[in-house]
Structures are given as C-alpha cells and as structure tokens.
Structure 1
Amino acid sequence: MDRQAFYRDPYPVYAEARRAPGLTFVPELDAWLVSRREDVREVLSSPDVFSSAGAMRPDHVPGPAALAELAKGCGGVQAVLTADGDAHRRLRRPLTRALSPARVAATLPFVRERAEALVAGFAADGRVEWMSAYAEPLPAAVAGRLLGLDPEDTPGAVRAARRAEELLFTELDEEGQVAAAREVVGLQHLLDAYARARRSDPRDDLVTDMVRDFAPGDGELTPDQRREIVSNLENALLAGHLTTTALLGVVVLDLLRDRRQWELLCERPELVPAAIEEAARFEAPVQGFRRTVRRPVRVGGTELGEGDVVFVSYASAGRDAEAESRPDEFDITRPASRHLSFGLGPHGCPGTHLAKEQVRITLELLLRELPGLRLADQEVVMAPTLIHRSPEALHLEW
C-alpha cells in the first residue's frame, strides 16, 4: 500500500492486524504494529523495556541543503517526547507544573474569550472552513499564552512549529525543505530570545519554568542550556496545539457525519464530556508512537529482539472489539471506557485536561450559537499523517 494512502486511512490495516495472530509487521511503518488494547497497555506500561528514543523518527530525512540551514539554529537536542528514565522525568517536570489543574483553570477565561471571538468572526456568514478558522487558531493562541509568547509572535511561531513537522513528515523538494528549515531556525532564535529574557525577568509562564528547571541559578545561560530549553519549548509548542486541533476537527466531523449524534447532543448538552471521550476513542488525535525494544521480550505472542521497533497504535486500541462493543460505531451514549488515546504511563499526554477543556468550551459554544450546524461537504479528506488525525479541511454551514 502507498504510505500516504495508509496514513489517510490506517483503520483497515489496524483491523487486519488485530485479527491476525501475534504482531503484524507493517512496511509503511517499518515497525511491528501493536494493535490490540491489552498489548498497547503492556508496552506503554513498560518504559524500561520499550524506549522512547525513536518515538518521532522522521518519515523523510532532510537533505544536505536543509541540514545546513538547520545548523544555523539553536535547538536539535533531546526533548521530553524522546527521553527515558531520569532524563524524561527532569524534562517533563516543568510541563507538569505548567499544566496543573490550577494553571489550566486560570487559563479557561482566556480560552472562552478567544473561542467566542473566533465564532463571532464567522457566525453571520452561514458557512466556514472549520480547521483554518477555528480548530487551528484557538489551540495556537492557548499554546502561545501557556508558553508566555506575545500575541503578535504566536501565529508565526505556531506556523514555524508546523513547518518543523512538515520538514520531517512530508515529502518536500529541496527548495521546500530549505524554506521550512529557515522558518524552524527563525522559531528557535525567537524562543532563545524569550528564554534569555526570562532569565532576568521571570514570569508565570512555561518559558520561565523551563529556564528555572533546566538552568538553575541566575548566571547567563550556556549554549547547551539554551539548546535544551529551545528544543523542549519547540516540542511543547507543537504538541500543545496539534493534538487539540486534531480533536477539535474529529469531534465536529464525527458529530455531524451522523446527524443523529449532533441532534442528540443539542437535546442533551450534558453529554458533551462523553462526546469528547468518544471522539478521542473513535479517532485518536495522535494515532500512536514508536518504541524501541531494549531487550528480548514477547508481546502478543511475537518474540521481539533488542533494537526491534514497534508502533504502539492508540487508535487501533480504541477500535478493539475485545475491549469495546460496537467499536467501529461512533456513539456519544456509550458507557465510559478507559481508552488509551492520550497514552498511558510516564509518557501519557500532560496536556490532556487542557485539550479536553478547549473542546468542551467549543462544543458548548456551538450548541448555543450554531445549533443548525451541518456538513457542507460529505467528502472529507483526512491529513496524510499519523502524528495527528484530522481533516485537511472541514466545510460547515448553518
């Protein structure tokens, strides 16, 4: 199968893998697919056996010209997503603090304000392209505020973070690679400037938290400290909005694709939290991550050796008929289940609560302001990536 076609619709491969004995090696992933919920749970619960070092292995390695541009930046070192053990715990600490219940609660008035302003910007038009008009800008603004970026810097910073994803996971020609690399380098220098400014002028934001945690003291930041801070801020900026953007896309798509679900939600708005959980189960916003085997181990009946790579599919786990009744049906009245769409264990998504709150506020706003919402185009194309599961475009009308 063509890799892009697989990325756009991986569910048939997932289903076949769940039915097959043992694990299935998927050439498009160049990895063993961990597809059943209990096997996914086992791998995620065993970080001492399955390393995260290659979690974000690129689909496309940039060419020499792009690498020469990236060399002008100040990032490129280990970030929390690919760290293990003590290093991971140290790198995750400021994220946990920044995404604490108290910090999230303090952010919600800003989320509501931005959500209402975005909807007000298109409510009178009768139609909208949801992804570009709302699903992307809302989480971007929230992520920028979380980091402590000035509002005028946020759109460009988020665009550059997305360009970093494109550079590694999209096939670009040399000119496109170089252009993307230049934007990434620009973002790195911007984040570096914020880090150095927060050294002398600390604030209540993630940049300050990372500076304090990764570079204790009050002296000038060293080059190594700056690279580590920038790499982890860059990671936080991308992860901080991409998952929420994806979830905002799929929850609206799934609710409107079967209009009975949307009408039911209009009648019973108390089902909003259940709708969010069902969307996450049905279309995991992040499809999964790779893990590298540290020592010989048996998973799902398959013997794996040191150095073997597995792809741990959160999305496939959500469709496992052994763990879920009617797994391929989207149903917001489904009894609560312990899906794994936000991960599990030490690498579980630290921003889950904030992401869900943004989606909750959004659905409550749409139910109030645009109850007549419907799909303007039934042919929705999903983005060709497993890093986030979302429509390329989602045209709505009312």
Structure 2
Amino acid sequence: MATMDRPTLDRETAREVVDPASYAAWDPLLDTFDRLREENPVAWIEPGEEYAHPPFWLVTRYDDVMRMSKDNATFLNNPHTVVFSLTEGIEFAKAMTGGSEHLVASLVTFDGPIHMKYRKLTQEWFMPKNLRSVEDEIREIATAAVDRLLAEGEEVDFVKAVSAPYPLHVVMQIMGVPEEDEPRMLMLTQQLFGGQDDDLNQSGIKNLPPEAITQLVAGAVADFEAYFAKLTAERRANPTGDVASTIANAVIDGEPLNDRDMMGYYIILAAAGHDTTSASTAGAMLALAQDPEQWAKVKADRSLLGGIVEEAIRWTTPVQHFMRTAAEDTEVGGQQIAKGDWLMMNYVAANHDPAVFDNPRKFDAARSPNRHLAFGAGAHQCLGLHLARLEMRILFETLLDRIDSVELAGEPKRAKSTFVGGLKTLPLRLKAS
C-alpha cells in the first residue's frame, strides 16, 4: 500500500503526538486525541524536521487498542522497539546490542511462546495470594514514608517526599536489593532509559555529546550486569524468598537464563516497578487535594478506596503508549495495515475515550465498570498490577489515618515524557490528624 493512500496527519499534530512536552500540557493533548478519535482514529504519522523517527500508525480509540492488546499473533512486540524511539535511539540500541532495536531484552519485548515461559517464572510471585506475605513489610515502608512526609511540615512536594521514593523502596525490597543500593539503582535506570524531562533526569545525560552518552549507557549496562551477577551468585548459593532468588534460580527449557535475559528481567522489574506506581499515586493525591469532600468521604469510609485507586490509574495512565509491529496485512478500525507497519497503541487516548468512559476527564471514584487500559490487556498485561494496587491502597490507608485535610499549595507540573508520564511536582498543604 502506497504511503499516499494512508490518512497522514498534518505536521503540527504529528509533532504534538511525539513531543515529550505535549504530555506535560495535558488538556491540549486530550483535546487533540478527542479530535483524532472522531476524525482520524487510525492515523499515519510521518517523521518531521524536528523529530526523526520511523513512520507509524497512531491508534486512539479504546476498542481498537483493546483488540490489538489481546491479539498477540497479529501485533508483535518484535522486531521493532515496543517504545516509541527516535531513529538515533534505535540505531544506538542496535549498536549496543549487535542488531536488536531493544536495548534491554525482557518480558516487554518477547513474543509467544517464549514470552509466556518467562512470564510464568515470576507470575505466581506477583499474585494477590503471595503478595499477602509482604503486606506487613509494605505497611512498614508506607508508615516510614508518611513519618518523613509529616516531619517536613505543613507544605510539601508530595512527589519528592512520598510518591517517588515509596514505590522504589517497595520494589527494591521485593527484589532483594539492599536499601543502601537504591540510589545506585535509580541512577542506573535514569542513565539507561534517559528520561526526557530535564528536572527528573539527574544523570546529566541531556548535556553530553553523543559519544559520551554511548559511553555512559555502556557503563550503566556493565554496572547493572556486574551488580546483578553478584546478586545472582549470592541467591544461587543462599536462596531466599525474594524475586531475585526466583530469577537467579530460574530454568527455561532445562537451561538457566542467559546473562542478557536475566539482566533484562532484573532491569524491567527495577524500572517498571517504581515510575508507574509513583505516577498513579501522585495522581490519586492530586484528585483528593482538589476535592476536599472526597477526602473526607474516604477518610470516613475506606471501602471507597478501591475505586479511588482504580480511577487514579485510569485518570493518570502512567504508561502512555506501547508500540506493536504488524505480523501480516491486517486492518485496525477499518484502516488497512501492511505487514511490517509500526503502530502506537496510545493508552492516554484510549483511557479518555468517551464511548467507553462517561465524562472521561472527570476523576470519578465511583466509576463502574472501569475497564481501563492503563495495565494493558491480554498476555502482556502488566505483571505487577496487583502489587501496584496493593502499594497504593496501603499508602492511602496510612495517609488517611494520619492526615486530617489536604489542599494544593501551588501549581502541579507534569513530566515531559512520551512513554511513562505523570506529575513531577505536587505542592500540598497538609494538616495532620
């Protein structure tokens, strides 16, 4: 199919979809997605002068994204990268890996049948039944986080004080990484995944020339490998109940995991386990700070907390997209898709589709059903969704026990990021109980 036959977006709209700054200016972006769902729900995006990238299809309707998410035979996670990347980033990954567009090989990048074999290694660990065994430990971490929050006084940045460090600490404890190594893990993930927001990316990667960035990322990969090789050796000699022990001693088709796959497993758990929950936690707190009546209601009736957690995850949509590659000629939303085409499943657009969610921009804790796509769907649905919900519930139980009222103390700001997004600052005024 010739490119000229494809419904191609105008330059300005195409730039908005791929520009990290667009995702910090939330309402204008949602306006754009509203228009595209009506006029051009499956649209072709060509690279522009400012952003050089392979062309791709943007998919904005909930039903289309849900169908693609569940059809893992037609819409593949390989060979092209599963996260939107500029051409220079793709070429960099290929240079680093010897040809793969994926800098890290992980559950996120595997297709069936190998994907399910790897997923099953830790799937049981992240089920609600098993997570009950770490609930007390998570509650201790939440209590310590709220202690630190209240010690800062009445005015705080909730992101910096709680929603960023709390989930990182939880996932590192679950993985078996000692607390003193957490700053190192955070820095390494920033170096590897090169956050797009200057305020959040403290690794200095933005200010470096390309050859220095190559050296920095290569160093981070080597550092990760060395760290987790040591942890693996320790867990093989003395297995414990943590996730690191499960990965270190895992066997696929009679063989232990190779070094690249094992490192990918560790990295995806380390990286995916904190930024996403941090974003939805801050989103829930923003919604409650904007609605004192809702805070008072849930403080009096904790049965409402489940709805608040679920709606915060939809309303925030921390993972803003994933990419897929068409395995064969197919169609999406009535649009013909050619074999090999790259497609963006935009979860922000899908989770704000008024055909599925009444008044989608409104935070509605009573929304039911709430079949959002923030965790994906089908075989690649987020492995840690039960953990994320548990972390948020425990933290908010602790906050509600100890805080009488909360209100905004300034203008919240969102991160500039096309992939994982959410608030980067949330200034609050708190009154302790």
TM over 0.5: yes
Consecutive unaligned residues of structure 2, counting only runs of 5 or more, are 1-14
Asked whether the 8 Å contact 1:69–1:182 carries over to 2, the reply is no
* 1:381 aligned residue: 413
1:43 shift after superposition:
0.3
Distance 1:24 1:69, change over 3 A: closer
Preserved contact between residue 20 and residue 418 of structure 2 (Cα < 8 Å): no
The corresponding residue for 2:12 is none
SS of the residue 2:324 aligns to: strand
Tell me, what secondary structure is at the counterpart of 2:365?
A: coil
Partners of 1:70 and 1:185 within 8 A in 2: no
1:339 is matched with: 372
CA shift for structure 1 position 216: 7.9
- Matching residue of 1:129: 157
Equivalent residues in 2 for 1:159-198, closer than 5 Å: 159-166=187-194, 172=206, 173-174=208-209, 175=212, 178-179=215-216, 181-198=218-235
Residue 82 of structure 2 corresponds to which residue in structure 1?
Answer: 55
**Is the contact made by 2:327 and 2:340 (CA closer than 8 Å) also made in structure 1?**
yes
CA contact (8 A) 1:49 1:295 kept: yes
Change (3 A) 1:162 1:214: farther
Give the counterpart of 1:14 among 26, 33, 49: 33
In 2: Cα distance, 1:178 partner to 1:396 partner: 40
Is the Cα–Cα contact under 8 Å of residues 315 and 351 in structure 2 kept in the other structure?
yes
TM-score, length of structure 1 as denominator length: 0.89
Residues 363, 33 of structure 1: alpha-carbon distance in 2 compared, 3 angstrom cutoff: same
1:396 aligns with 428
For the residues of structure 2 that align with 1:282 and 1:89, how far apart are their CA atoms?
29
Indicate if the aligned counterparts of 1:140 and 1:241 stay in contact, CA closer than 8 A. yes
* Candidates 37, 49, 54, aligned match of 2:62: 37
Deviations 1:107-144 (A, max 9, x none): 11111101111111231411222112211211111111
Written as runs of structure 1 = structure 2, the 5 A alignment for 1:130-149 is: 130-149=158-177
Closer, same or farther: CA 357–18 of 1 in aligned 2, 3 Å: same
1:309-342 Cα shifts (integer Å, max 9, x gaps) = 1111222222111112112211212223212211
Q: Is the 8 A contact 1:244 1:355 kept in 2?
A: yes
Q: Which residue of 2 aligns with 1:118?
A: 145
Deviations, residues 121-171 of structure 1 (Å, cap 9, x unaligned): 231411222112211211111111221112222332133123322168987
How far residue 178 of structure 1 moved from its aligned partner, in angstroms, is 4.1
Residue 176 of structure 1: CA displacement?
5.5
Q: CA deviation at 1:201?
A: 2.1
- Alignment correspondent of 1:101: 128
CA spacing shift, 1:292–1:62, aligned 2, 3 Å: closer
CA spacing shift, 1:217–1:89, aligned 2, 3 Å: closer
Change (3 A) 1:235 1:65: closer
Q: Which moved more, 1:18-27 or 1:47-56?
A: 18-27
How many angstroms apart in 2 are the aligned matches of 1:65 and 1:318? 32
Q: How far 1:76 sits from its partner (Å)?
A: 4.9
Q: Shift in Å at residue 51 of structure 1?
A: 0.3
| Number of matched pairs | 390
Cα distance in 1 for partners of 2:247, 2:353 equals 39
Task: Determine whether 1:328 maps to 2:361.
Answer: yes
CA apart distance, 1:395: 1.4
Are the counterparts in 1 of residues 41 and 60 from structure 2 also a CA contact under 8 Å?
A: no
Deviation at 1:65, TM superposition (A): 9.9
Match of 1:292 in 2: 325
Shift of 1:82: 0.7
Query: Which stretch of the first structure deviates more once superposed, 136-145 or 54-63?
Result: 54-63
Letter in 1 for 2:165: P
Residue 46 in structure 1 maps to residue 71 in structure 2: yes
Say if 2:283 is the partner of 1:250. yes
The answer on whether the counterparts of 2:414 and 2:421 sit within 8 Å (CA) in structure 1 is: yes
Change (3 A) 1:168 1:225: farther
Q: Tell me the SS of whatever aligns to 1:396.
A: strand
Instruction: Quote the residue 1:317 is aligned against.
Output: 350
Decide whether aligned partners of structure 1 residues 61 and 115 sit closer, same or farther in structure 2, where only a CA change above 3 A counts.
farther
Contact 2:321 2:347 in 1 (8 A): yes
Q: Kindly tell me: are residues 68 and 192 of structure 1, through their superposed partners in 2, closer, same or farther at Cα, counting changes over 3 Å?
A: farther
Alignment pair present for 1:210 and 2:235: no
| Distance (whole Å) between structure 1 residues aligned to residue 399 and residue 66 of structure 2 | 35
